[in-house]
Amino acid sequence: MALKVPEASLPLELTAFAAVEAAYPTEITRITDSLRAGLSVLVECDKELTPYLYKAVRDRLKKENRTFLYLDGRPVNDLPQLPPGTGLVGTIVAYLREAVRGAVDGRIITLPHLDLLTTSSGGLTSEAREVIPLLYENPDLGFLGFKDPSFPLPKVIENLFPRRESILGVPRNRLAHLVTQRESRKLSSEPTFSPAALYKFVSGVNAARLRRLLGALTGEDYPADPRAAYRQLRQATLVGQLTLPDVDLDKDIGGYAKVKQRLRQEIIEVLAIKDAAPDEAQMKAIEGLIPRGLIFWGPPGTGKTLFAKAMATSLGAAVTVVSGPELKSKWVGESEENLRQVFNRARQAAPSIIIFDELDSFATARGTYQGSGVEHSMVNQLLTEMDGFRKDELVFVVGTTNFVESLDPALLRPGRFEFHLHIPFPNKEDREQILRIYDQKLGLQLSPRAFDFTVKRTGDVVEGTTSRHSGDHIQALCRTLARMRLRERRSTATEVEDVEKAQAGLAERPALTPKEERVVATHEAGHAVAALFCPNSPPIERISIRGDLAGSLGFVSYADPANRYVVTRGQLEDHICTLFGGREAELVFFEDLSIGSGADLQRATDIARALVEDFGMGPQAVGVRKIDVDPDDPSVSDAMKEKIELAVGQILDAQRERARRLVTENKPLIVALRDLLLEKKVLDREALAQILPKTEKRDVMPEA
């Protein structure tokens, strides 16, 4: 259990000024000592903290007869009045011009709005350029400047301050001095206060703002469940586009057991151990182990952003989702400013997660940019922000990408994006669980047969694309089914025919003429019959002539092979034979060929060439060796190249003849299958079992 403080040791009342002095005593002392020694100080802090810090420093030095001049754009009694309409920046510059001249007697000029003298790119405004020489003119002057954390300062202004102090959020070890007894009673079920429990939600909030938030707490004293009070604080700390997601890692995300296990082990469980640490030293040690930069990579639509939101929900963290194109700007320095603002808001709302959607859109390897060049500066700014993380602030950066290999290597080193999580296309078990979630949420009432069919069907390539089904595709299919049931006012179970109908609505399919359909049906029947009599070919799952797969007019899909990781020569040869089955069926039945077999021929040639060149499984004339056939490589002779081409041709000819023999011997079966395809358009395993004979398939792997 985390350390707790007795309620009686907390203050009874606390003003904002007292809270600032209690929160930052060390920092205020350093600022005061530097000014006393004649050294100017630049303080980086939130705007609302500026007047409180100024008062704390001024009150300490007033006792030593030091005078302060606070230039915030309002009239100053000791300086001449300015004409109306001078403006805020004009007033600051005019008073600054007056203040630096003449005898100053140790005067300290306070500049609370240094950002007004700079542009968004960190350059100087036209007014500031006039006054910069004056800032360096009088060495007897002391300056106390305040800088917004999200705004850069040009070097010529920064160099004016030999001492710098950064005050961001509140220190954990000072939190017990910032909570009153009344407020503690809202945050605990017993008369004790846990700084670590509160710090998790206010680490990025400055002391002045924290006092306002705590003072506004409502609810009963010593509640049985203090989470309601923490939720009030959590909502109040949200700024900008930050939101609190509600995504349960198990209830809202189906499947992906290994991905969930790794996310829990590496992040969520480690943070839970940290929250329960018995002392500050152990808590700090654990914080040093937690990766702050995470890469979630994988194909589109697999739930990368959803996993990041589920992680945020588990941690009680706020989330902001930003994309590279939204951050980019044509104006110099504005893209970097946008990044600074994102990180600043996330720190103020910690615990938080910044999700950079499509991180590769601006963080590709430097030197490979094709854009305006602003990406280089954005990567540098991103690295700067991540290197500036404090160990005790819970701010995480999740970058999602489809092309992890294209990211800048500087981002992937330890200390930055060191945790990589691969989220692939869902396998059969994942699809079952994803479908089960949507079936329940959308009230689809899928019948057992329709459920199994949908799981198998979503194992294919998505209709009209070259991509496999992702979680997003499954969701789209289920939403289509839900809309269809709503229109039809259905209360009965969803059947296979409904799933087929819904899928038909998700893709545009070519309208074939009867003659074209006959050719396509014959072609696919040829593939199926060849596969049926090849002992190493996996079972057929589905045949379609509906034009619903990757732009093909028809296809035959197969079950996953029994041995997926060890591929034998027999399997590859049977695959070539099956690929030739469609082409040979066209020749046998029509004595002509369509160009539809072009892709089959290309794939067959690639496999045959791999057998010869890569695997040493070609004819004996070539020999058992790995051959790299490079036109510029003199180590492979012309004679060897000729042997390779001959060997590839021999493999293709042998399997083509084998396919033709299987087609010729089983013409009646092809006719029956073709006619059924023309009638049904799609045949699943159950329909095929009624027409295809059972053949004995031997296992391609020897017994151990």
Q: Looking at the annotation, which residues are catalytic?
A: 524
Q: How far is CA 633 from CA 21, 611, 642, in A?
A: 75, 20, 15
Contact criterion met (CB below 8 Å) for 117 and 128: yes
Q: Closest Cα to residue 467, out of 504, 517, 507, 437? A: 507
508-540 burial code (b ≥16 CB/10 A, e <16): eeeebeeebbbbbbbbbbbbbbbbbbbebbbeb
Alpha helix stretches (DSSP H) within 397-544: 409-412, 428-441, 448-457, 471-488, 496-504, 514-532
Contact criterion met (CB below 8 Å) for 508 and 483: no
Q: Closest Cα to residue 519, out of 674, 672, 673? A: 674
CA angle 248, 253, 256 (to 5 degrees): 125
Cα end-to-end distance, the chain, whole Å: 53
**Sign of the torsion formed by the C-alpha atoms of 584, 585, 587 and 592:** negative
For tokens 């100024």, name the residue. 54
Instruction: State which amino acid sits at residue 41.
Output: V
Q: How far is CA 117 from CA 113, 123, 152, 338, in A?
A: 8, 9, 11, 19
**Distance (Å, whole) CA 176 – CA 698:** 74
DSSP code per residue over 568-629: -HHHHHHHHHHHHHHHHHHHHHHSS--GGGHHHHHHHHHHHHHHHHTSS-S-TTT-S-----
Q: Closest Cα to residue 358, out of 401, 299, 329? A: 401
Instruction: State which amino acid sits at residue 181.
Output: Q
Q: What is the token pair recorded at 495?
A: 């059947």
What is the gyration radius of the CA atoms in the chain, in angstroms? 35
**80: CB partners within 8 A, 6+ apart:** 98
Residues forming a β-bridge with 165: 43
**Sign of the torsion formed by the C-alpha atoms of 368, 373, 379 and 384:** positive
**Distance (Å, whole) CA 512 – CA 678:** 11
Residue count (the chain): 704
Contact criterion met (CB below 8 Å) for 3 and 197: no
Mapped onto helix, strand or coil, the DSSP state of residue 558 is: strand
Neighbours of 551 (CB within 10 A): 13
**Distance (Å, whole) CA 648 – CA 606:** 9
**Distance (Å, whole) CA 563 – CA 286:** 43
Contact criterion met (CB below 8 Å) for 84 and 117: no
Mapped onto helix, strand or coil, the DSSP state of residue 112 is: coil
